[in-house]
Amino acid sequence: MARPRVLILRAPGTNCDVETVFAFEQVGAIVNSVHVNQLIENPDTAAGNQILCFPGGFSYGDDIAAGRILAQQLKSHLNGLIDEFRSADRLMLGICNGFQIMMRLGIFFPGEERSPPATLTLNKQCRFEDRWVNLVASGSNCVFLRGVASMFLPIAHAEGRFVIKNQDVASRLLAQGQLGLRYALPTGEVTDQPLPFPANPNGADLNVAGISDPSGRVFGLMPHPERHIDFTHHPYWTRRHKQPDFGDGRLLFKNAVEFFA
């Protein structure tokens, strides 16, 4: 199988890049972790990469708002590169802070960047949440979610509540398969009605945990798949009678690599 190249973009405050490098390498990718200043100085560093990933953390301390400074830096200096990954037959992934950055870049809603139909904002309970959540993937157009039915992943964010402009927009995004990853009850039940806390850890509309663009090649999510790659990452792994071969998050990265097989 071909080994796609992954560009992981980090900045001051990024703190999940090493784990994300590990996750991609475990499924056969060749990974290059690059600081945003290096990329601005030499944009050719991105040449030959098939996957662009924005890892989690708190870029620039999340000053002003989560992901805003890095997003503005990218708009000002690397907008052409972002457009190239967005329009070519490549993949883009944003995890937690990376998802927040991508939302601020407007890349999930082509043609609607000036007035996006949805946003990420402060958790409904107005505090940072660090816990594990149940997730269900259904009706998704997303490359990263192929073969994924459910996942158990950790979240760690204060601004992860997905808010949709109105019901018409919600219906359109659902019909296009863009709202394919949702918070669920431990039983696996998912609904359009708000789930109670902590099943829905931030109060997101339609219990949305991750979204894709219309092509399905651009994906962002608030949970951290890179923190559940090995089965021993599971918080209750010593209590389970039968262990899976891998952690739930691994398939997401494997799908990205196999897209280029």
Residue 70: what residue type?
Answer: L
Cβ neighbourhood burial of 155 (10 Å; 0-12, 13-18, 19+): buried
Q: Which of 16, 53, 96, 142 is catalytic?
A: 96
Is 129 considered catalytic here?
Answer: no
**227-233 long-range Cβ contacts below 8 angstroms, 24+ apart:** 227/16, 227/19, 227/153, 227/154, 228/151, 228/152, 228/153, 228/154, 229/19, 229/22, 229/23, 229/26, 229/253
CB 9 within 8 A of CB 34: yes
How do strand 150-157 and strand 91-95 relate by DSSP bridges? unpaired
Annotation marks residue 25 as catalytic: no
53 in catalytic set: no
The Cα–Cα gap between 176 and 171 comes to 9
Give the H or E element holding residue 171: helix 167-175
Active-site residue, from 157, 224, 228, 233: 224
Rounded CA-CA distance 161/180 in Å is 16
The catalytic residue among 16, 142, 226, 228 is: 226
The Cα–Cα gap between 119 and 103 comes to 7
Catalytic residues: 96, 224, 226
